[in-house]
Structure formats: structure tokens, C-alpha cells
Structure 1
Amino acid sequence: MGGVDTGARIAFTADGETLRVRDLIEGKEMVVEADREIDPVPALTDLFVFPVDRAVSFETESIHLPSHSMVRVRDGEGKFLGNLLEPTEYPTRDYLFDVTGNVRTYVRVEDRAFAASGRNQDDSFTVEFDEPTTVTVGSRSLHTRPEATIVVPDEPTAAMEAVSHLGSSIKEFSAERSWPTLRGHPPRIRRGDRLEIPDLIQRPETGIRIEVPPEYPDVYRVAPLAFYLGASVDPGDAAELHLENGYIEPLRSPGRSLSETVEELLKRCLLLDSLVRIGGYIPSRRLEYEELGPDLPFYPPNLYDATLSEQLLEYLEVERSVLEPYFPTWSTTAVLRPDPADVELLPYLAHTLSPIRVCDSPGDSKNGEKTAGTVPYGWPDGRIPDSPTDASTLAVTAETLPSNAALLNVETYENAFDLPPVPPGEAAVALVTDSPERGRRWREQLRGLSDGDVGIGAIEVVVRPDCDRFRALFAGRYDGVYASLPVVGDEIVCDDGGMRLERIGAVGARFVAFEAGPSVEQSASVVRNGAVTAAVIDGPVSDDRLREFLELLGIGLSLETSSRLVLSEGPIQIRFVGDPGHQMTINKDGTPPQIVEVDPVEVDRHRVATESFLTVRHRPGQEKRFNTNWADDRSHLTGTRRSDHSLVSTDDLLEIATLDDSVIATPDMVTADPERFTEKDVRRTVRRSRWKGSDREVPET
């Protein structure tokens, strides 16, 4: 066995006729097979149009991919030519095979014709060239987790230096970085005695600087923008953005706080970059481009090869009111404390481009001496209550956490690396109650939910468990645990006595929900001990709402979105521990689910609006397109709402309900299960729409 290129991100190893491509950050591998023994030699990464971390070349007359999810064929310049799904032949020219699999891989050949087998029954793929040739394989780490750790002492200037290195994970600083797959996870930040930055973490050189006073609040506020721009963060008397051409943009003004300005600038850059890239690596026909383009003072494709400073100068000229209607809804807006401890949250918030505000109350101080008892928290879905200035964003404790807010901690993100979402149909959920009657109703209400069609593979109802049984539910057999047991003091009441949540020990469940049970602080122990996120629900949830909640989790909506759509009505309040933008399940192709809201116009004509949501995994810059006969083929940014669809028929609605990425929302129900959305349900929706505003009872005929 021989090998080459065992760098920090990608390793290539040759074993006879097999080349193993390993993503060292992700711990995943894919295989490329040749028709002869492979003798790889290092190759230039510049041979590829797309960013790759490492590349090798070898001789062969054919290549075979035993497993992959998609192969796209492009010309030598990267122009898309087609998906290789069926047997096909291509004439002599330069080609690039774009392989989506466990490792992001590209295979380049020059001046060759080829024949492709298409996708075989065993999910493999074969390409045969017209004669032996040199193929070059380049790979890029998916980089969804940190590759290294920066250690910082408790000094604001050290935090500035760490933030200046967060952009080291971005693959290139063109408009293409608006694709989330080109923004690798920033390195971790941990507190220590002295500043330590590993050699493999290189500070970006984009020519962009951000100056702020050397205080924790301002360093935190600019961190996501600094990451996205690859900007250095330097001490200064005022908050300013400095471009390499000498232009200076103030970031704080009498009418706008630093947080507001930075958040708007970050969203501005992401949106406009996504328009500049439309003819780039992945050409697309975009809704935002066609609607917004005529109102821009520049032609976006003309900025594709411009420097970052040149692009920013043009972006800053666009009126804010023109852009705001097209901003996606972010998954989280974070509120940090002016405390050195919260520096450790910055890489995870930068990864999702989450806007950051800093609480500032009379009990706080800029260096954190008086923040004991307060917690960092987030507003899921990015909608923070009216807070026109940073000073009005108050500090909270775990027990004063507002409804719908989330107590943020490092563990929620780190645990998610070890507990990624499972494929639909494979999730297992345990429901726990002290009421035999409620257990019986749950079994009846949830019948059919675990047949795999809506993402739940197994459901177990547990009634009055003893302490050992209750503890065992969290050990990892179940992806989710929903518990409705009495609480006395700080103990969960089981059949043989009480148990504190921290005594559960190691937790292997992805999400945990406690109904009318322990406090936020008590629930936080399950996340500290291994869970990804937890929900604290202050009242009983009806059986039908619980089913809808599980359906939405099973189709791939985040814990927060699932809760908000079906559990937020009435007096029930929900608080979270950890970022509730995490998902329990995710589709193989990584596409996010969509909500389809139905508004009847006539008996067989319905108005629909669609909305998709950003999550920790579905990050800003991703695009979504509807593959249906009722929607046009324009893509749009994930996290946006569309209501420009043509009217649809009842048959269309029933077809939409069968899609594995769609949730139907009517005034009566929210469901991802096509078995629960029938023509009868459509007729009921029509009746309720017609009788809206009437004091008469809605007929059921």
C-alpha cells in the first residue's frame, strides 16, 4: 500500500487499483477505482475551477465510483453540461466530473472523449475514456466542524486576534462564498492563559479591516461580519469598516446601533453576493435576481471578478429599503454578555452568520465582573423583539429566560457534531407519561406515524417508568425523548422515587422535551451531558398537536420551527436549552423542507404560499427550487417566503402532500403525513374559508 498527501483536511491513499479519498475533518471516505494499479502523484489545485484542498493525478483508461449521490459533468471551465443519470457519450474536449458524495470530489480529464454508464443498479457509476489518459482528482473537505482550536486569554485584544482568524475556513473570498458549502466551520475558540493560534489556521488577506474599541461588546457584535468578509478586527476609537482602497464606512451612528448596522451589512453582502454568483459555479435562474436586479445601480455579473473592496463599494450604494424585502429570515439572533466567557460561542454563531447583540443592563460591566447568574441566549428564527439600541437588550438568567428564547451554550453545537441528524424513517422517539390513560391515547393518536413515511421509524410509549428505566431512555437508543412526568422540587418523579436530571449521566438523545416539568436550569444538564437541544414546555400539549409536532420533526424541520408551527397557539410557553435550530432528521440530498400554506379561493382553486427555513445545517446562501407543475423554475434563497405561485387545484394539493419535503398548513391542521391530508380535508378547508366571519356553525357535509 502506498500513499500521498496526508494533509490536515484531505488525505489520498492508493491501494492497488483503488484510490481512497478521506476527509480528515469529517472522518468520511469515498473511493475512486481505476483499471490498473494507481501510482498517484501530487497535482496542482489550480487545475480545478472549484476550490479543492488537495489533488493527485494518475493514469487510467476508466474510473469507477462505487457509491455517490450525484455526478454532474462540466466542461474544463466549469460550465454545467448535464447530470450523468443515464448511459451517454461525450465528444473529445476537457471535462470535469463534479461528484457529490461523502467527500466533495472533482475528477478532471483533458482532451478526451468518454462514455458513461449512468447510475447502475448498485448505485455505482463508470466512465470509460477513448484511450488511456491522465486523470486528476481534487477534493475539498465538507468542513462542517472545526479543524483546530484557538486559545485566548481574557483580553479583548486577544479576542480581536482570534476573530480575525475565523475566516481561515472560507474556501475563497469571491461572491461564491455566499454558498454555505464554501464556508467551512471556523476554528474553535477556548479560553486559556495565553494566545495560541495553530500554524494551520491562516489569517485571511482580503484587504478589509474592521476597527472597533477594544471591548468585548463591540468585538462580539462584529464577529460574524468579520468572518464573512475575512476582515481583520483592529483596535480603534470608532466602529468603522476600512476597505483596501482607503474608503471608510462608519458602523455606528446616532440613529443606528453597531449591532443593527453590522446585521444589515451582513445580510446585504450575502444577498448581493448571491446575485453576483448567478452565472458562476452553479448557474441559476433566481427569483431575487429578476425582481431586484432592475433596481440595482450595477449589473451583478459584472462584479464577479471584482475585488472584495470594489464589490463592497457598489453594495453600499444600494438603498436599504430596496434590499430588505429580499433578506432571508435568519435562524437565530444571539444575545451575548459582555463577558470573556462568551468568546467561545463566536465560531458557532459565525458559522450560521447569526447576528449578535450584547446585553447591557445596570448589573453588567464591559469586562464581565458583574454578569454572574446571567446567560447568553438566542431568539430563534432571528426575530428579536423590538430593540432599537444595544442598550435596550437586557441580560437574563436561566429562570427569567423569555418565552421562545433559547439558553445558548457551547455544548449544543459540539454535541451535534457527534449526533448529526438521521435520515427520514430512521428516527426513534420515546414518549413518557405517568398517566396510563394518556399513554393509551398517545398509542391511538400516533398509530401509523412510525411506518416511516413521515420520518419516524419507531415510537415507544412508556408509562410510569422507574428511575433506571427513565435513565435508560436517554442513553442513545432514542433520537428524541418527550417526557411528561411530575416534578417535586428539583426531581423528576418516577415510579420508584425521584431523580435529578443531572443524575441521568451521559445522554445520547438528539432532542429532549419536558412538558410541565423541570426548569430551564435543570433541563440544561441534559445538554451539558450530551443532548443536542432541549425544550421546556410549561403546559400539557394536546394529542393531535403532539402528533403534528413529531411529524414536523420527522420530515426535517428544526425543533424551534416544529414547536412554533404547532405548539405556540394558546397559553403554552416554550423555552429552549441549546440552539433549537438543530434538526432530528435530514434528507439524503440535504434539501430543507417547505411549508405550503393553503388559502382556498374557490372549490377547486387554492392560493398557496411557500416558506422554507434556515437551520444550523441549512445556512444562509443556500437556494431552493420547487420541482412542481404549479411553480415556476426560478430558485430562491432558503429562508424566504413566496406567495407568487399560480392557483392550484385540489389534485395539485394532494400531490404536494405526497412530496417528502413538504408540510401542508391549513387553518385546521399542519401535517407532513399524506395519509392525513385527503380530499375531505381540502373540502373542510374550503368550507371554513367560505364561512369565515359567520357566527353559524361550519357544516361538515
Structure 2
Amino acid sequence: MNPSFEPIENGTGIAVVDPIERHRYALTTPEPVASTAVDTDRFRFPVDAAVGIHTAAISLPSVVSVHVRDESGAIVAQAEHFAGEELPHGRYTIELSAPIKLYCRVEGPLTVTADVEGMTIGFGDTTEVAVGARSHHERPAATVTTTTDPEDVMAAISTFGSALKTTSPERSYPTLRGHPPTVELGDELDLAGLEPPDTDVVIEVPPEYRSIFVIAPLAYYLGARVRPGDEPLLRTGPGREHSLDGPCGFERTVERALKRTFFLDCLARTEGLYPVALHEREAVEVTLDLDLAALYERSLADRLDAYLDVPFAAVEEHLPEWKLTSHVEPVPTSAETLPFLVDDLAVVRCASTESVTRSTELTFDGGVEAAGTKRGDGFTRSTVTSTRSTNSNAGPETDAGFVSPETTDSLEAAWVGEGLPLGASKVSVEAYRNRLDRTPAEGDIDITVVCNDADMDEERDLIEDAYGDRDELPFDVSLHRDLTTAELEDLLSTRTDFLHYIGHVDEGGFECADGELDANTLDSVGVDAFLLNACQSYRQGMALIEGGAIGGIATLTDVLNCEAVRIGRTLAGLLNAGFPLQSALDIARDESIMGDQYLVVGDGGLAITQPAGGHPNLLNIEQKSGLFRIRMEVYPTSMGGMGSLVIPYTEGGKYHLSPGRMPPFDLSSDELQEFLALENVPVKTSGRLSWATELAVDEID
């Protein structure tokens, strides 16, 4: 279903709605307007749907990146915070990088003004404005079938580059990469007629899964063909080759090649369609012997040769924080997960005895007993008191054991394979496929809260006000208590965006008023995302994924009720603010001594709502020499992945690559109060997590 346009309730203008990604963005007008469908061919860039309205101005509820192009396609104005642009009469295309990609076509004079809170685009007199919208939702173009033969898997991975929308440096923008074709195992090779782009780049590796999987993201980004070879090599043309097995080893060399190429493309693209002032370019350009303007015009293979001559150390400290490192077992079934990891431009490492620790027991600093002593509360969310065991009563999937992948410098870690990961999410190909098949939903964002134990009402009361407190988004929050098995089964089968479950879970499933409900017995699951805030809820969470859910948060062991309340309250606030599941859990873990006992299952990149400011972010604030030092950590989203741009809400700020830590900046007390009033984001002061609207500036140490 394409984006739709509807009147703004209790206001004037139109709201643009993406029913698949569940995003909404309001364009307010001075007077009421009526919208009529117009031809999408009127737009220079692709749009999914378009309407025409008559107005003298459009106001935006937030500050977004705005690019104005003339009829030739040249950029004639850019606008961000504190903008004040005026253009004479002409025909213009206005590109708005909002939660839904928007374009406006208009003829007339043009003004663009902005402060720290919003923007206004003026057209002089009332005139027709065509508004086009494009969803950020991406679907693979086809499904490729491969056998388990490694050379067939190589051929399948060679098709990944067919999803690239360009081979220019602009493919470093997430919207110009495209989702690779999905992969299924079968009896014969079928590439669905897909071919990589003509880039002259070939990657050779030994025909074994351990090597093939690692180079998949690099092959995708370079549009490369993958062929068998005696040693890992990257070829860019006759007589031009680069070793992929350097002093730091094969996996690290491939990782560095990907990161370096991607980063330098981000710099070179500022010579193209979007000539923005990029902080990272200014930081490294003087030390690099590269003519970025000339490189922009050269072929991908020629640029790659130049990039790989740049020492990795010259760019390493300026790279954006990488979103994801995936630890993948080198077995045939892992090939089906690769397209989804590659879509995130993840670093892939193949699990080995050196990089993964395996065990059959699970220990967390003494478990519930020790945690209960620290908190003075031994009440758990399970009818079982054991927290560590190798028998069938102990917890989830003990027959497969636990795995501890090595830590990396990525924001997130994922595990693809058998066993329960510690410190990483549990990836499921079913979850990714469920997301691709996600059906459009009209109306409010549905949040369902279930409390099946009266002794846990504290968490229900604390989170009741957390969900749906954002005026710009319509929420429908429903609360349920003491459900029977039939009532819970009906609820789990009904479409809802998010389920927050509070109660007991044991071997038999969810504890209900009249017995237990095992999610494995459900005919269908209508829940998109979930938090199962109960003991040992992992198995029930995986059952929801297998039944149709996309992603969720579950527990590995017993959890103390007081700690579950702490985690539940924190997660509710973060998810309501637009943080994806994995990012929300990474922050919430630090708020509880039992945080490590929670994990993400399925697709950790799923968010239940859009962030108010375009990018979810966490502020670290400390007082320094009479001023306040702000460190902003920007987190990735489905619409703001690797290579997207962010600009801090400070006057004179520059664009920065996202995700990652922005350079620190200082504000006075009055400036900080104004800054915190812009958006209710999580804030850490002296190691304590709070929210911008709750923070008293005069109490910051």
C-alpha cells in the first residue's frame, strides 16, 4: 500500500501517512485545504503517491534537511536550522528528508525559514503545490535459489549488487542502495535473471562458507562478482588487484576495505547531487592525497583503487560508528539470512572457536539470588526459583547451549546460528521475512499492555502514561488484566503494533487466570513487536516470531520483579520515543543489574514509532567550567541507516555522518534549557538516565 494523504485532525493542512512503516508527517497550512490526486510523473524523483493542494505556505513540525532544485535539477538552495532562504519566481522541486520522503513541485517565488523547532516554506500568494511521497519501505526485487554448493552460493551473492540504485558515491546514502534479493536453499541454482552492475570488480575467495559469507557485504556494496580463487583477492581490472588477507587477517581486512570505501564515498558524494558541508570531509581532507571532485567523476573501479591506497589509519578515527556486526555460523542455512544482514551493511564474521565462547551453563554475577540481596527483593516473575541449571527445568534451549561472540566496536551485535547468544541479538530469518510481508495498517498505532498478575501492577501503572504521550502521533493504548488462556490467545492473534506483557512465564507458557497458554500452539500471530517482561520468556518469544511476529525482547532466566519494573519502564519510554528494539535494550540494560538477562529476538531494527526529531538520540551532559558539555549519541533507524546525515540543533552546526557520537559542544544554562525543550529525549547525567522534560538544569553536576 502506498503512502496516503488525509486531513489533519483539529488543524489545517494534510497529514502524509505510511501505513507499512507506520510513519506520519503533518504539513500544516494557513487555511483549510482540499487535496486531489495528481500524476506522479510530475516529479523528477520517484514517488509512490501525490496530491495537489492550493496554499500560500506549508509549515513543518520539525526541522528537516531541505534541498531546492530548479528545472535543470541543480540545487539552488539548502536549508536546515536557522535557515532564511529567498528565491525569485521560478519552477522548483523541494525535497524534504522527513520520516516519509516528500517532494513539493511549485511555480512562483519561494522562501524557506527555520528556527530550532520547525520550518515554513512560503510561496507568496496562494498557488497550486503538488506534494509527492515515497515510503522508506524496501522490498527485494526477487528471490534467488541456490544449492548448498559453495560455488552456487557465490553466484547467488553476486546478484546482491543488482539492488544498487546507482554505482556513484551516492550509493552510500541508505535510500540509494536497495534491498538485495532474498535467498532460499533448493535443489538447483536459479538466479532469477539478476546480474550485478557492470563495475569491473571481482572478488575471489576460496570456495568455503567461512570466506564466502564474510565478503557478502563488500560484494554487495561494490556490485562485485564473487568467484572461487586460491586466496582472497579484490580485482578492479586487468592487472589491478588488492589482497584481502592483510596483516590483520582476512576478516579484518575485508571489514576495513568496506568501511574505508564507504567512508570515502560519503566524502566524494558531496561533489554530486547533495553538496553539503560535511564535518568528516573537513576533518580529513587536508591529510588525504585525494582529489574528491575528480574521483566523483571516475568509475567505481577507479575510485576503489584510489581509496584502497589510503591507509586505514588515516580515516579510522573519523568513521561513523558501524551499526551492526553479525556473527554467522558457516553452515548452508546461514545463506538465507545474508541478504538481510547485507541490507544493513553489516560487518559479517564467521563464528569460530577463537571468536565465540560456548557453554552449557548460564551465570550472571550470582543470578537472581545475588541480585535479590542487592535490591532487598527476591520476588521473581516465575513460578520456578532456579536461575542456572543444565536440566530441562532451567530455562531456554539448554540443549543448544549458550554462545558469547567476541565484542566489537559496532553499536549492535547479532548471532546467526544455533544456541542462545549472550551480548547479541538472536537473528531469525523468519522475522525478516515477516517484516517483508508486513501488511499495511491504517489508523492509530496500537499498543497492547497485558498484566496477568496483580502483584505486578506497579509496572503497568508506570508505563501507562509512557506509551502514546506524543501529540503528533495517534496512539491507541489498551490495558488488559488477568486474561484467560482463550482471551490471551485471541489477543495474540489480533493485529497490534506492540505487545507489552507483564506476568509469569514458565515451561508451559504464559500463566493465565485459568491455566497456561503456549505460544507454539497458536494458529497465527498478529503481534508485530513485543516485550515479554517475564521470567525465561525466550521460548515464548521465539514462538511468536515463528508464528508471524517481527521482533521482540525476551528474557533468558528468572528476573526479579523490581528489576523487571525498572527495565520495563525504561524500555517503554525509549520505544515510545522511536528507538528501535535493539538500541532501546542497549540503553535500558545499563539501568538494571539484571539487564544482561534480556535479549532481542528477531529483527532488532524494528521500531514501533518514528522519532520526533528524525534520529533517536541520547544526550550525555556534564557541567564543565560554568558551561554544560553535551555529547550526543545518534542511533540508527530503518529510514536512517549507515550513511544518513544528521545535524545537531545548534546554530552554525555542520552535517555529520550517522550513526554514532557527534563532536561535543558547550551550552550555557539558558541555552541548555532551550535545547532540552526541543524534544523529549533520554539524558544521562552522572550516569543516571532521565528525560529532557524531567531534567532540572540547576541540579546537573
Q: TM-score range by the shorter chain?
A: 0.7 to 0.9
Residue 642 of structure 2 is matched in structure 1 by 620
| Cα distance, 1:38 vs structure 2 | 9.3
What TM-score do the two structures reach when normalised by structure 1?
0.75
Describe the shift of the 1:183–1:198 C-alpha distance in structure 2 as closer, same or farther (beyond 3 A): same
Contact kept? 1:375, 1:407, Cα under 8 Å: no
**Alignment match of 1:570 (pick from 575, 593, 616):** 593
Residue 485, structure 1, aligned to residue 485, structure 2: no
Distance 1:427 1:83 in 2: 35
Partner AA of 1:326 in structure 2: H
Please list every run of 5 or more consecutive structure 2 residues that lacks an aligned counterpart in the other structure.
Answer: 4-17, 26-34, 114-119, 357-398
SS at match of 2:622: strand
Distance 1:594 1:445 in 2: 23
Contact kept? 1:422, 1:584, Cα under 8 Å: no
Q: 1:241-281 CA deviation, whole Å, 9 max, x = no partner? A: 0012531111114x333221111111111111111112321
Residue 203 of structure 1 is matched in structure 2 by 196
Residue 675 of structure 2 is matched in structure 1 by 656
Partner AA of 1:79 in structure 2: I
Residue 323, structure 1, aligned to residue 319, structure 2: no
Matches within 5 A, 1:411-430: 411-419=430-438, 426=445, 428-430=447-449
| Cα distance, 1:667 vs structure 2 | 2.9
Residue 397, structure 1, aligned to residue 437, structure 2: no
Q: 1:528-561 CA deviation, whole Å, 9 max, x = no partner? A: 1121112222323353443222111111112122
Partner AA of 1:218 in structure 2: S
| Cα distance, 1:183 vs structure 2 | 0.7
Contact kept? 1:613, 1:638, Cα under 8 Å: yes
Contact kept? 1:376, 1:409, Cα under 8 Å: no
**Alignment match of 1:78 (pick from 71, 74, 78):** 74
SS at match of 2:315: helix
Q: 1:347-380 CA deviation, whole Å, 9 max, x = no partner? A: 1111110111112359x9xxxxxxxx86999979
Q: Which has the higher mean CA deviation after the structures are superposed, 82-91 or 281-290? A: 82-91
Residue 644 of structure 1 is matched in structure 2 by 664
| Cα distance, 1:333 vs structure 2 | 1.2
Question: What do you get for the CA RMSD once the two structures are aligned?
Answer: 4.8
Matches within 5 A, 1:34-433: 72-75=67-70, 76-81=72-77, 90-91=88-89, 96=93, 98=95, 114-115=108-109, 144-199=138-193, 201-253=194-246, 255-361=247-353, 383=409, 397-398=418-419, 401-419=420-438, 426=445, 428-433=447-452
Partner AA of 2:554 in structure 1: V
Contact kept? 1:378, 1:408, Cα under 8 Å: no
Distance 2:130 2:280 in 1: 37
Describe the shift of the 1:490–1:184 C-alpha distance in structure 2 as closer, same or farther (beyond 3 A): same
Residue 364 of structure 2 is matched in structure 1 by none
**Alignment match of 2:570 (pick from 530, 544, 548):** 548
Q: 1:387-417 CA deviation, whole Å, 9 max, x = no partner? A: 9xxxxx999633xx23221221112222223
| Cα distance, 1:128 vs structure 2 | 10
Contact kept? 1:624, 1:637, Cα under 8 Å: yes
Q: 1:419-468 CA deviation, whole Å, 9 max, x = no partner? A: 5999999452414342x2321x2344335324523879354554432112
Matches within 5 A, 1:518-597: 518=536, 520-537=538-555, 538=557, 539-540=559-560, 541-568=563-590, 569-572=592-595, 573-587=597-611, 591-597=614-620
**Alignment match of 1:515 (pick from 508, 515, 533):** 533
Partner AA of 2:653 in structure 1: D
Partner AA of 2:165 in structure 1: K
Describe the shift of the 1:557–1:101 C-alpha distance in structure 2 as closer, same or farther (beyond 3 A): closer
Q: 1:1-57 CA deviation, whole Å, 9 max, x = no partner? A: xxxxxxxx99xxxxxxxxxxxx9x9999x9xxxx999999x99x9xx6x7x6999xx
Partner AA of 1:627 in structure 2: Y
Partner AA of 2:678 in structure 1: L
What TM-score do the two structures reach when normalised by structure 2?
0.75
Distance 1:220 1:197 in 2: 18
SS at match of 2:654: coil
SS at match of 2:266: helix
Distance 2:433 2:54 in 1: 32
Describe the shift of the 1:74–1:487 C-alpha distance in structure 2 as closer, same or farther (beyond 3 A): closer
Partner AA of 1:652 in structure 2: E
Distance 1:39 1:587 in 2: 30
Distance 2:509 2:84 in 1: 60
Contact kept? 1:221, 1:358, Cα under 8 Å: yes
Residue 521 of structure 2 is matched in structure 1 by 503
Partner AA of 1:577 in structure 2: V
Distance 1:442 1:152 in 2: 48
Describe the shift of the 1:512–1:126 C-alpha distance in structure 2 as closer, same or farther (beyond 3 A): same
Contact kept? 1:423, 1:588, Cα under 8 Å: no
Contact kept? 2:145, 2:183, Cα under 8 Å: yes
Describe the shift of the 1:395–1:140 C-alpha distance in structure 2 as closer, same or farther (beyond 3 A): closer
Please list every run of 5 or more consecutive structure 1 residues that lacks an aligned counterpart in the other structure.
Answer: 1-8, 11-22, 56-61, 365-372, 388-392, 687-701
Describe the shift of the 1:419–1:672 C-alpha distance in structure 2 as closer, same or farther (beyond 3 A): farther
Describe the shift of the 1:265–1:592 C-alpha distance in structure 2 as closer, same or farther (beyond 3 A): same
Distance 2:96 2:663 in 1: 34
Describe the shift of the 1:211–1:375 C-alpha distance in structure 2 as closer, same or farther (beyond 3 A): farther
Q: Which has the higher mean CA deviation after the structures are superposed, 495-504 or 343-352? A: 495-504
Contact kept? 1:335, 1:358, Cα under 8 Å: yes
Contact kept? 2:634, 2:662, Cα under 8 Å: no
| Cα distance, 1:588 vs structure 2 | 7.3
Distance 1:501 1:142 in 2: 32
Contact kept? 2:444, 2:474, Cα under 8 Å: yes
What is the number of equivalent residue pairs in this alignment?
Answer: 617
Residue 387 of structure 2 is matched in structure 1 by none
Contact kept? 1:620, 1:638, Cα under 8 Å: yes
Describe the shift of the 1:319–1:512 C-alpha distance in structure 2 as closer, same or farther (beyond 3 A): same
| Cα distance, 1:117 vs structure 2 | 10
Describe the shift of the 1:139–1:488 C-alpha distance in structure 2 as closer, same or farther (beyond 3 A): closer
Distance 2:200 2:124 in 1: 43
| Cα distance, 1:477 vs structure 2 | 5.1
Distance 2:570 2:76 in 1: 40
| Cα distance, 1:338 vs structure 2 | 1.8
